Amino acid sequence: MLINTLFCSHLSLIKWLQTFLIPCPFKKLTGIDCPGCGFQRSFLALLQGDISKSFQLYPATIPLLLVTLYTIIDARWSIDRKDYLKKTLYIGTAAVIIVSYVVKMSKIV
């Protein structure tokens, strides 16, 4: 009974999120995808357990979520005192965002 309730509430949450996706203001103004376009759909695919589809929609979703989680943990418990790992994670995530954006835009042109 509890598992069924949790599963149904999970599906309801996903349907609600799909209904209220935020449109990209940059794309609305210019007609061009921004470097973050696809994150919401990718996150929803990840919530549904479809990692492959999530990666296809926006490759930086998982690195962004991991960096966010690490940043929250580090802010609470000060794991990385000199911020070496945090800087490396930020640079790596930024690189994934930039490379995936360049690849996406090269396919469009």
Can you count the helices (H) and strands (E) in the chain? 6, 0
pLDDT band for 58, please (50, 70, 90 cuts): very high
Q: Where are the domains of the chain?
A: 2-108
Per-residue pLDDT at 1 exceeds 70 = no
Task: Find the Cα–Cα–Cα–Cα dihedral 66, 74, 14, 23, rounded to 10°.
Answer: -80
Give the pLDDT mean for 96-102. Answer: 97
Mean pLDDT rounded to a whole number for the chain: 90
Asked if the model's pLDDT at residue 4 lies above 80, the reply is: no
Rounded Cα–Cα distance for residues 64 and 36 (Å)? 11
pLDDT (tens digit per residue) in 21-47:
999 999 999 999 999 999 999 999 999
Give the residue among 79, 78, 45 at the shortest CA–CA distance from 59: 45
Concatenated DSSP letters of 46-86: HHTT-HHHHHHH-TTHHHHHHHHHHHHHHHHH---TT-HHH
pLDDT value for 20: 86
